[in-house]
Structure 1
Amino acid sequence: MRNRQFNSRVSVLALITGLNIISFAPATHAQEKVQTLDPIIVQTKGENKDSYVATTSSSATKTATALVETPQAVSVVTQKELEARQVQSVGEAIRYNSGVLGDYWGGADLRYDKTLIRGFDAAQYLNGLKLSQGKFAGLGRPEPYGLQRVEVLKGPSSVLYGQNAPGGLVNLVSKKPTAEPIREVNVSLGNFDRRQGSFDVGGALDDNAEFQYRLVGLARESDTQTDYGKNDRHFIAPSWRWAPSDDTSLTFLGSYLREDLGNQVNVLPPIGTLTSASFGKIPTSFYPGEPSFDQFIRASKSIGYEFEHSLKDVWTFRQNLRYDRQDADYRYVSYSGAPVVGTTMARKRTFIDQDLNSIGVDNQAEAEFSAGPIDHDVIVGLDYRYVDFSYQFGTASAPSLDIANPVYGSAIEMPRTTKSERTEQHQTGFYLQDQMRMDNWAVTLSGRYDVADSSTVNRLKNTTVDQNDKEFTWRSGLVYLADNGLAPYVSYSTSFEPTAGSDFDGNAFEPTTGQQYEVGVKYQPNEADSFVTVSAYNLTQQNVATSDPDNVGFDVQTGETEVRGVELEGVAVLTDSLSLKASYTYMNGEVTKSNDYKGNTPAQIPRQIANLWSDYTFQDGPLAGFGLGAGVRYIDKRFGDMANNMELPATTLVDAALHYDFEKLDTDLEGLSLRVNASNLFDKDYVGQCASTKFCQYGARRTVIASLGYKW
């Protein structure tokens, strides 16, 4: 809980609905006896934007709660770390955190930010509102240069966010207007003929800082490790804030991102990538498509606002709203999945035309008060999300290609439409949470009720499938805050996620549900800039689809998956020169109920993950201003398919960084800096992922980026 003074008189009830806030005035009690309590102060360290260490997060509780007081494992990637590692994707941003497998497709496929948290695919949120995901062109890759920080919630989080996988979620926090002036420009070059420029400007528009603005932009042209590949993007994010008083603020946020990626469907056969073929290994630069036909252009746009108003000493009202639109024009030639004959690869041609519209609004009323010896932070919320998603899809065979001597230029015609659907989704959720504090004890109790409806129209068959789901989820947690900075905790949480499809009898599938028991201890030393979390959990997902033994080609929901794990994560600023981040993850995943794969390990789950990143900057002497960073990432072997027939070997990758502050050379050069970052420094050739026994993809080869920046 935050630093504050509580008053014992509380007699306000608020209901937030739709896009409006309706409040009921306090009841009048003529004889009411008012007693003023002494101030109760909970000390929380202030955030330091120049540190790797975060001490608060709003994602886990939707309140500004200290991480040490949150009964859940939460990881935060600060602005300092994002800049130090020059991250190029969300998956790359969180790759050094425990419990996470960021960019688990290997990082070479630039279409998606595929992230695994505690063994399950994780959804992404932007400023607390969900980013919608299409069926084929998928979830876009948000521009990390536009982010202030990245927060990872581990474990079921439906109680505050609605339908989600049980592993957790990633919340991205945008750069927003500040009263402090921001002036930054960067120019960067890299291998694969990379050229990029970016800027970040903002500050107050008047002497009283009532009006503030910020404008973030980036433009890039780049090739990729694959022949004919592209990694071009243009990004702009304007924002504006009106803060007429300390109690009221209104912030408008907008963004536009256009990606031109050529053909990213560089799936290849396992024989020739994971193992050698008769002709050896397929080069990582091999391109299975057709340059004259292939295209991937995706445009993502958003506009929204965040409103906050504090009422007297108890209530704070918030309303966050965002509209998102994504359009994708996508066509490609790719490996078909048929066995390679000699060196001849069979191919297919595909097109996807997709558009997605969504609007989300989250209304909150927060009350902070004391009742007897217990301090309360109560939040009541009502959120709503609407998604309108449609696509056309077509696929057919294409001319084959010789792997050993590829010749491009085949005439490729657009295939006819084989699928055409439109889906509308509505989700409404009401939630209530009470964070209680008495002496050294902190208790969190949360509950939520969701109604999720969807309707899918098959436009080729003129049929409609409706699905209606209702679910209650909850969470409870207990933390003991010792005076020496130790905070042992225990929690239980649940989740739900709708499942598309129906059984043999035509009954719509029920949502999958998840439950997690978690115990752990957090440590935030009183006199050190550091934070350590150790956690252990048992996570179970039910209602998983498995084959129907009585009706071939249909599924029943009798499957169950269990993941048990231990996580250790520590981040520290050990001296003015040295920052350190380390994590270790142990995951034991098992299909505990299934008609197909009982006893197997779920695909993509490594048994162990270990990461270490350090950054050292010389403060004095002839090397003053010079710094270097180094990181090691280890990913244990894992299976690429549910049948456990395909095993990816363990991988160890090394990252590195050099940076120099020119102010140490000459004070007239204050604000000028140079950074050189390398990912996969030793250029390890490895398979990043195999989606089945037919398709594999190489991981990202060495990437080197040099950036010259100026801040004033």
Structure 2
Amino acid sequence: MSRPAPQWWLRASVASLALALQGVTPTTAQSPRAETAPASVVLDPLSVEGSYTAAPKYQVKDLYSGTKTVTPRLSLPQQVDVVPQEVLRDTAATRVERALDYVPGVGKQNDFGAQNLALYSVRGFATQDIFFNGFNIARGYNGAPDTQNVQSIEVLKGPSGALYGRSDPGGTINILTKQPVALPFVEMGTLFGSFGTARTTVDAGGPLNEEGTVLYRFNGALARQDSFRDFVDGDRVLVAPVVSWLISPDTKLTVEAQYLRNRQTFDRGTVAVNNRLGLVPRSRFFGEPGDDSVSEAGILQIRLDHAFNADWQLRVAGHFNTGSLTGLQTGATGLLDDGRTLLREFRRHDFTWGVAIGQAELVGHFATGPFAHTVLLGLEHERYNSTENLLRSTPRLDPFAIDLFNPVYGQPKPPITRRYSASENVGNTAVYVQDQIALSPEWKLLLGNRTDFYNQTFRDKVSNERTEQDRTGFSPRAGLVYQPLSFLSFYGNVAASFRPNTGFDIATRPFAPETGFGYEAGVKLDLFTGLSVTGAAFHIEKENVLTTDPRDFFFQIAAGAVRSQGFDLSFVGQVTPEFRVIGGYAFIDAAVTRDEVLRVGSPLLNIPRHSGSLLGVYEVQAGDWKGFGFGGGVRAVGSRLGDSGNERFRLPGYVLTDALVYYRYENLRFGLNVDNIFDETYYERSYNAFWVGVGEPRRVIVSMTARF
């Protein structure tokens, strides 16, 4: 039965606000005939947010990214770790990378000299697949995501190709952004601290018309940060508006945009001398002052949600992303026998890209006999093009050297003697289907598959070599949940994934795509007043990994294979109404199983066998000290391989301790964070012995926010 729009919208707004004040995410109707408002409009998973004045909570009851439908956590046969917005606030995290420190099994990989979207590892496999409301933003060189417009982060463990297409089998990260809200507000924030950190933010939202059918949200950030590294600094600008329009009681249109400009000094980190770290100060810089890169990227997303009735909803969405990365680089390439003369290469780069993705998804609820179904039918089409131009010097002819122990900067730039220029064009069409079947109150089955029809053209403009390939990729998925008690479930799953390789071999033939396969079994618990605990054992394999061609080391072949296995334990939520925690532990055994150069059994780069973290925060709920909170965190990472071609070089393990304290009074919040309290020297990532990322020393941050 239809209802007048203003009355219906008021009723929906009150319901949504009540849920938000309780810190509860609404769920999609489980019964095919549930008497609820259309789920795709009222219960938009991207629009739910906790209250600023209510006590912060880490509680997670429902998930979106694992099925693209709002699904109770215990009903999902997959481990998905969630970083709520409150964790970002408590840790004063300004980059998504910092927020992932408390997700078990997620590690830091190559950050490309701090220039672009960082590379992570999930369950032992490196991945650059970060999604933005379900769309991949790893195409191109988008700047490392800012947290200012982030509502929550969901980390899917294991292969996720059945929903998201070509990807790595270790895991997928999906960022859900802040959405418009019904009550008007403005929140201003400032943050400053060590290493010249200064940041100003704004978050505002509310209705744009009297009827309340048009809502907006605006987030912005201006930031400046120097570094403990000599001559290194950076700044960024973020502008992120969102507008939603309730066209009718059953139809809503949302338009969301983001502009991010990031300037950063190119810095590959420190150097290990004869596999030894720590021989030079951790602040010493081996690039050239003024070698900056600037990335600019714009994102536009459009979503149309329509409910045909209480059982069937349609979502049509578009994603457009364009950007550029330009600048200068000076990076180490080798060390002379004297142990102090570092050879360097100078580069000028100019990268551009453009992405257009369209999605149409139909969600339906129906019954077949005693079985209740939630079906997702999806269609996606993507067009991607990029151009990379890179000018390079030749260190063998023009060393551009620097003394590790007595560096002299400002040398004349070496001549450009090498040129790389390439373009890539990708077209991809995919169809996918998923069925969540409630076999009984205790048993739930999930089945799904995605088929990608992929076309790729790669052209090396210097050699005038061109390759083209057409591939069909299948990404099936199956999972089963047994929930004997309301707070306990057991699950298992099996899934596959694929990722096309770019480029060509020595015979100018395109590479076969990487294929992944994994399975896991786990248990989920809900404890106390809202503590979510998940433990899982997993095994994942990946084949057709690019490896060096033994016939000519300048080329590669798709002949490698790797595997990762182990178990992880994660927890997030409320132990008591006053005490919230997030963290976990991961044991990962990741190794090469086939390669033309690397030893079979050699560990994978940057993957520790043991890692774990714990963040706990206590807030007084009543009395004179109400609103006062304090807490601390521990982050531990074990020893790991630091150079794929040199098993003797390993990064040492480390344990870091963090602390925080804050006070909330009415619409004000004052916070103090101290990271790495004991000022430990540590190395958080490495590409090889000459590109080793140095972790930050003790860092103090003071923050203040006010909401009106």
TM-score above 0.5, yes or no: yes
Superposition map of 1:290-301 within 5 A: 290-292=288-290, 294-301=291-298
The residue that corresponds to 1:433 in the other structure is 434
In 2, Cα distance between the equivalents of 1:558 and 1:710? 56
Task: Return the alpha-carbon distance in structure 2 between the equivalents of residues 317 and 341 of structure 1.
Answer: 67
Structure 2: which amino acid aligns with 1:210? T
Find out whether 1:377 has 2:374 as its counterpart.
yes
Alignment correspondent of 2:21: none
Equivalent AA in structure 2 for residue 285 of structure 1: S
Return closer, same or farther for 1:502/1:114 CA change in 2, 3 Å cut-off.
Answer: closer
Task: State the partner residue of 1:286.
Answer: 284
Tell me, yes or no, if the aligned pair for 1:351 and 1:414 is still in contact at 8 Å: no
Count of residues in correspondence between the two structures: 657
CA distance in 2: counterparts of 1:264 and 1:146, whole angstroms: 27
> Whole-Å Cα distance in 2 between the matches of residues 117 and 330 of structure 1?
30
Q: In the TM superposition, what is the alpha-carbon distance from 1:699 to its structure 2 partner?
A: 1.9
Distance 1:265 1:592 in 2: 29
The answer for the alignment partner of 2:67 in structure 1 is: 61
- The CA deviation at 1:260 is 1.2
Q: SS of 2:272's equivalent?
A: coil
CA displacement, residues 651-701 of structure 1 (integer Å, 9 cap, x when unaligned): 11112111112x2xxxxxx21111112222222112222212443231222
The equivalent residue for 2:385 is 388
Which of 665, 674, 681 is equivalent to 1:678? 674
Distance 1:112 1:340, change over 3 A: farther
Distance verdict in 2 for CA 1:149–1:360, change over 3 Å: same
Counterpart for residue 214 of structure 1: 217
Kindly report the root-mean-square deviation, in angstroms, between the aligned alpha carbons of the 2 structures: 2.3
Give the conservation status (yes or no) of the 8 Å contact 1:74–1:151.
yes
Question: Hey, what does 2:686 align to over in structure 1?
Answer: 690
| Range that drifts further, 416-425 or 427-436 | 416-425
Equivalent of 1:658 in 639, 661, 670: 661
2:233 aligned counterpart, secondary structure: coil
Secondary structure in structure 2 of the residue aligned to 1:300: strand
Tell me which residue corresponds to 1:353. 350
Aligned to 2:259, what secondary structure does the other structure show? Answer: strand
Equivalent of residue 611 in structure 1, options 604, 607, 613: 613
Distance (whole Å) between structure 2 residues aligned to residue 290 and residue 557 of structure 1: 36
Report the equivalent of 1:304.
301
1:422 corresponding residue in structure 2: 423
Whether 1:642 and 2:639 are equivalent positions in the alignment is: no
**Residue aligned with 1:399, SS:** coil
**Cα distance change on mapping 1:416 and 1:308 into 2, 3 Å:** farther
Closer/same/farther in 2, CA of residues 368 and 61 from structure 1, 3 Å limit: same
Does the C-alpha gap of structure 1 residues 416 and 256 become closer, same or farther in structure 2, counting only changes over 3 Å?
A: farther
How far apart are the structure 2 equivalents of 1:342 and 1:546?
29
**SS of residue matched to 1:83:** helix
Distance 1:373 1:214 in 2: 43
1:151 aligns with 2:154: yes
Which of 441, 459, 462 is the aligned partner of 1:460?
462
Question: 3-state SS of the aligned residue for 2:511?
Answer: coil
Q: Which amino acid aligns with 1:511?
A: P
String of CA shifts for 1:188-224, please: whole Å, max 9, x gaps: 1111112211000001123432000011001012211
**Equivalent residues of 1:632, 1:655 under 8 A apart:** yes
Match of 1:23 in 2: none
Query: In structure 1, how many angstroms separate the alpha carbons of the residues matched to 2:176 and 2:78?
Result: 19
Whichever residue aligns with residue 432 of structure 1, its letter is V
Aligned residue among 120, 123, 128 for 1:118: 123
SS of residue paired to 2:101: coil
Matched, 1:180 2:194: no
Q: 1:674/1:551 Cα in 2 relative to 1: closer, same or farther (>3 Å)? A: closer
Give TM-score scaled by structure 2 length: 0.88
C-alpha separation in 2, matches of 1:482 and 1:181: 44
> CA distance change for structure 1 residues 622 and 347 in 2, over 3 Å: closer, same or farther?
same
What are the equivalent positions in structure 2 for 1:434-453 lying under 5 Å apart? 434-439=435-440, 440-453=442-455
Any idea what the Cα deviations from partners look like across 1:124-164, whole Å, max 9, x if unmatched? 00000011343xxx442011111111110110011111100
Residue aligned with 1:684, SS = coil
Task: Name the amino acid aligned to 1:124.
Answer: I
SS state at 2:87 partner: helix
Shift in Å, 1:348: 2.2
Distance in 1 of aligned mates of 2:273 and 2:594: 31
> What is the Cα deviation at residue 550 of structure 1?
6.4
Write the distance in 2 (CA, Å) between the matches of 1:406 and 1:699: 21
**Against the structure 1 CA distance between its residues 639 and 85, is the aligned structure 2 distance closer, same or farther, given a 3 Å change threshold?**
same
Q: Which residue of 2 aligns with 1:242?
A: 245
Give 2:352's aligned amino acid.
Answer: D
Residues of 2 paired with 1:237 and 1:379: CA distance? Answer: 29
The equivalences for 1:389-538 within 5 A come to 389-396=386-393, 397=398, 399-412=400-413, 415=416, 418-439=419-440, 440-525=442-527, 528-538=529-539
CA contact (8 A) 1:566 1:587 kept: yes
Counterpart secondary structure, 1:633:
strand
SS in 2 for 1:81: helix
Measured after TM superposition, the shift of residue 621 of structure 1 is 5.1
Alignment correspondent of 1:231: 234
Does 192-201 or 681-690 show the bigger shift?
Answer: 681-690
Question: Conserved in 1, the CA contact under 8 Å of 2:516 and 2:542?
Answer: yes
Match of 1:562 in 2: 563
Structure 1 SS opposite 2:97? helix
Task: Please give the secondary structure, in 2, of the residue aligned with 1:676.
Answer: strand
Mapped pair 1:319 → 2:316: yes
Supply the distance in 2 between the matched residues of 1:51 and 1:672 (Cα, whole angstroms).
Answer: 18
* Cα distance change, pair 437–63 in 1 and its aligned pair in 2 (3 A): same
Residues 65, 156 of structure 2: 8 Å contact kept = yes
| Aligned residue type for 2:411 | S
Contact residue 158 and residue 495 of structure 1 kept, 8 A: yes
Q: Secondary structure at the match of 2:226?
A: coil
* Contact in 1 for aligned 2:544/2:559 (Cα 8 Å): yes
Q: Deviation string for 1:334-385 (max 9, x for gaps)? A: 3232337364433221111111111112210111111211110111101112
Partner of 2:137: 131
8 Å CA contact 1:197, 1:219 repeated in 2: yes
Q: Indicate if the aligned counterparts of 1:337 and 1:695 stay in contact, CA closer than 8 A.
A: no
Displacement, 1:645?
2.6
Q: Which residue type is aligned with residue 356 of structure 2?
A: I
CA deviation profile, 1:295-340 (whole Å, cap 9, x unmatched): 2111111112111001023221101211111211120223232337
**Deviation string, structure 1 residues 160-202 (Cα, Å, up to 9, x no partner):** 1110011011001111112132320011111111221100000
> Shift in Å at residue 705 of structure 1?
1.5
Given that residues 688 and 700 in structure 1 are in contact (C-alpha distance below 8 angstroms), is that contact kept between their aligned partners in structure 2?
no
Shift of 1:547: 4.6
Range moving further from structure 2, 403-412 or 243-252: 403-412
| 2:338 aligned residue | 341
Closer/same/farther in 2, CA of residues 550 and 459 from structure 1, 3 Å limit: closer
Q: Give the secondary-structure state (helix, strand or coil) at the position aligned to 2:236.
A: strand
Is residue 115 of structure 2 the alignment partner of residue 85 of structure 1?
Answer: no
Deviation by residue 1:237-261 (Cα, 9 ceiling, x = unmatched): 0111001334211000011111111
Change in CA separation of 1:54 and 1:254 when aligned onto 2, cut-off 3 Å: same
Indicate conservation of the 8 Å contact 1:106/1:687, yes or no: no
Comparing 510-519 and 672-681, the one that deviates more: 672-681
Question: 1:400/1:449 Cα in 2 relative to 1: closer, same or farther (>3 Å)?
Answer: same
Distance 1:660 1:107 in 2: 38
Q: Which amino acid aligns with 1:71?
A: P
In the alignment, the residues of structure 2 paired with residue 166 and residue 157 of structure 1 have an alpha-carbon distance, to the nearest angstrom, of 7
Q: For residues 431 and 563 of structure 1, what CA distance do their matches in structure 2 show?
A: 27
In structure 2, the gaps of 5 or more residues are 1-26, 35-47
Deviates more, 1:468-477 or 1:570-579: 570-579
1:428 positional shift? 1.2
Q: Deviations over 1:634-658 (max 9, x none)?
A: 1111112234231111111112111
When normalised by structure 1's length, the TM-score is 0.88
User: Given that residues 239 and 254 in structure 1 are in contact (C-alpha distance below 8 angstroms), is that contact kept between their aligned partners in structure 2?
Assistant: yes
